[in-house]
């Protein structure tokens, strides 16, 4: 189970803006360790965001997305008190889901 995300979802003027920080090493797979061996890529591959169970964003990420990734997007609708959830999966089979209340 991955580490907790920091998610902020704010509803205003009929739309909800989401800003999220995910805790993930996002290892690119290019670096070498002290013995000269490649450190294998370890990164988030899929991200899904949903509002009250309806998908509002999907993403596929490669290893070039930065460590501790930041994501921001906006969707129409959403109101304070409703739920916004974000899930990610990585290439080693780890995953994480966090849900917040829209403010």
Residue number, 12 or 72, with CB nearest to other proteins: 72
87 binds other proteins (CB under 8 A): no
Closest CA to 2 of 102, 98, 103, 101: 98
Residue 98 CB partners (closer than 8 Å, separation 6+):
4, 5, 7, 85, 86
13 phi, psi to nearest 5 deg: 55, 40
Minimum CB separation from other proteins for residue 13, in Å?
12
**Beta-carbon-side half-sphere exposure of residue 29 (alpha carbons within 13 Å):** 11
21 binds other proteins (CB under 8 A): yes
Residue number, 55 or 80, with CB nearest to other proteins: 55
Q: Which two tokens stand for residue 40?
A: 């294998």
Considering only 1, 13, 34, 35, the residue that binds other proteins (CB under 8 A) is 35
45 binds other proteins (CB under 8 A): yes
Q: Which two tokens stand for residue 8?
A: 């902020």
91 binds other proteins (CB under 8 A): yes
Residue number, 19 or 83, with CB nearest to other proteins: 19
């Amino acid at each position: 189970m991955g580490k907790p995300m920091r998610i902020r979802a704010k509803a205003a003027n009929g739309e909800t803006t989401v800003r999220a920080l995910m805790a993930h090493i996002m290892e690119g797979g290019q670096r070498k360790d002290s013995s000269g061996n490649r450190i294998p890529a370890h990164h988030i591959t899929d991200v899904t965001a949903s509002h009250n169970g309806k998908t509002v964003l999907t993403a596929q990420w490669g290893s070039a997305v930065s460590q501790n990734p930041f994501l921001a997007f906006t969707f129409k609708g959403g109101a304070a008190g409703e739920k916004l959830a974000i899930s990610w999966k990585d290439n080693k089979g780890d995953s994480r889901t966090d849900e917040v209340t829209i403010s």
